[in-house]
Copies of this chain bind each other. A is one copy, B any other.
Amino acid sequence: MPAATNPAVQTAHDHLARNAAVYRKELFDFLRIPSISAQPDHKKDVRAAAEWTRDRCIRAGLKAEVVDSAGHPAVIAEGPQKPGRPTALFYGHHDVQPSGDLSLWHTGPFDPIERDGMVIARGAADDKGQTLCAIAAVEAWMKTAGSLPLNLKMLIEGEEEIGSPNLAPLVEKYRDRLACDFVLIHDTSQFAEEAPALTVGTRGLVYMEVVLTGPEKDLHSGVYGGQIANPANVLADLIATLHTPDGRVNIPKFYDRVAPLSPVERASLASLPYDRATFLKDTGSPAEDGEAGFSTFERRWYRPTLDVNGIYGGYMAAGSSTIIPSRAGAKISMRLVPDQRADEIEKLFVETIKQRCPSTVKMEMISHAHCDPYMADPNSPVMNAAIEALAIGFGKSPVLIRSGGTLPILPMFKRILGADSIMLGYCLPTCNAHSPNEFFHTRDFDAGMRTTAAFFGLLDRIG
């Protein structure tokens, strides 16, 4: 384990160690609030979670207030001014996913317990536990050094689990107050058990629906079969053109902006263990498949994809019906990687479909989602501080990974605040974040608090 070179970090860590039981208890208090943002009857609970967060930030030594949005309230907090030091905006959320099927929970989702080294409750990891890591780290610095080694702002929202519909307007509104050099997020995960990770990028998304209409109504396939275009057949033909036999997306210029892997990420990738049997068991799929020449992790993180998410048309119930469908449609999404641009890819997709769709059917397209990929500089001083902080907090050098998914808040922060995001995730990828029996290992909770406290101290060197 690398030593904390800044003695103030060690002092803050000592505070955290002495107060481990207190923070555990406070996590339990936070978890007892059923702040389910998706369910209107929990509106008051979401506000209660905001108020609990505000009060906890104030006790940690910050100025904090609940700020209203068009939906659930957020909390904005600020530490003491430190002129000349870097400014971080911590982002987290105090709302949680619904419980889901209660019969699958071994304990009540809002009755947290500690068992087998885990805190088990809805929100234990996502994101109450990880948010509390940051607040505890702040408190450790404030109680021991009397101040923070950085300018810290916190934005802890209450609508993450419903897609953050009011976050961008809120960030716009408080743009000056939230101005920062970078955003710090504890809402991702480690790579695996005992494998802390920094998530340095996420994939973008373009989600389209293609709807084809042939005859005006379903027709008898005996009377009209073979005489007019069948929109379901045409749709299949169109979809089939969207990949080459080697699994590449067959849209002209699609790969033009795909950035090569940086040496630091390539090295990290080489160090990752991959177990084919586990992957197949996790997916329940008969085989791996995808773009030829790339490994599963490369396909997940570094390569763009195109998938049919849904397809429909004609007679879909049990049994048979002899019709030529009037309509058939497909929901088709593309995951994008740096430096692809969502607007450009959507345009290429639309042009390609228009060009390939025969005039024997009518064609419409609907755009459902649209988000740029996100990539932080894996070689920046702040990123290096985060790497070092994870090594200190977890006692293991982290790996650099990406997420195959899409986080619209990252390009949003970049667009409005001009700031990159550092994603330090402390829970496990298997922590049941949106499933029954969500958990957070207590050792990871403790390591997370230490990591954030160390990260603050390492920024001191940068400022």
A interface residues (Cβ-Cβ under 8 A, vs B)? 203, 205, 207, 209, 214-217, 219-230, 232-233, 235-243, 279, 283-291, 296, 299-300, 303-305, 307-316, 319-326, 328, 330-331, 333, 335, 358-362, 368-369, 403-406
A226 touches B314 (CB 8 A): no
CB within 8 Å for A236 and B309 given contacts A215-B285, A220-B405, A228-B287: no
- Among candidates B225, B360, B368, residue contacting A305 with C-beta atoms closer than 8 Å: B225
Kindly list chain B residues whose C-beta atoms are within 8 Å of the C-beta of A216: 283-285
B215 touches A283 (CB 8 A): yes
Give the CA-CA distance A378 to B232 in the complex, in Å: 36
Kindly list chain B residues whose C-beta atoms are within 8 Å of the C-beta of A288: 227-228, 360
A283 touches B320 (CB 8 A): no
Min CB distance A197 to B, Å, is 14
- Among candidates B228, B238, B310, B358, residue contacting A321 with C-beta atoms closer than 8 Å: B310
CB within 8 Å for A307 and B324 given contacts A203-B222, A225-B335: yes
B229 touches A289 (CB 8 A): yes
Min CB distance A413 to B, Å, is 19
Min CB distance A284 to B, Å, is 3
B320 touches A228 (CB 8 A): no
A333 touches B325 (CB 8 A): no
A312 touches B316 (CB 8 A): yes
A359 touches B286 (CB 8 A): yes
Give the CA-CA distance A360 to B321 in the complex, in Å: 29
Kindly list chain B residues whose C-beta atoms are within 8 Å of the C-beta of A224: 283, 300, 404
Kindly list chain B residues whose C-beta atoms are within 8 Å of the C-beta of A311: 232, 235-236, 311-314, 316, 325, 328
CB within 8 Å for A226 and B331 given contacts A309-B323, A313-B311: no
Min CB distance A251 to B, Å, is 14
Give the CA-CA distance A279 to B321 in the complex, in Å: 23
Min CB distance A430 to B, Å, is 12
Closest to A208 in B: B320
Closest to A217 in B: B284
Give the CA-CA distance A214 to B285 in the complex, in Å: 5
A308 touches B232 (CB 8 A): yes
Min CB distance A373 to B, Å, is 11
B309 touches A221 (CB 8 A): yes
Centre residue among A240, A285, A289 by max chain B CB count within 10 A: A285
Kindly list chain B residues whose C-beta atoms are within 8 Å of the C-beta of A291: 226
B223 touches A308 (CB 8 A): no
Closest to A291 in B: B226
Kindly list chain B residues whose C-beta atoms are within 8 Å of the C-beta of A233: 239, 242-243, 307-308
Centre residue among A287, A303, A307 by max chain B CB count within 10 A: A307
Closest to A302 in B: B226
Kindly list chain B residues whose C-beta atoms are within 8 Å of the C-beta of A209: 320
B223 touches A405 (CB 8 A): yes
B229 touches A287 (CB 8 A): yes
- Among candidates B242, B287, B331, residue contacting A359 with C-beta atoms closer than 8 Å: B287
Kindly list chain B residues whose C-beta atoms are within 8 Å of the C-beta of A207: 320, 322
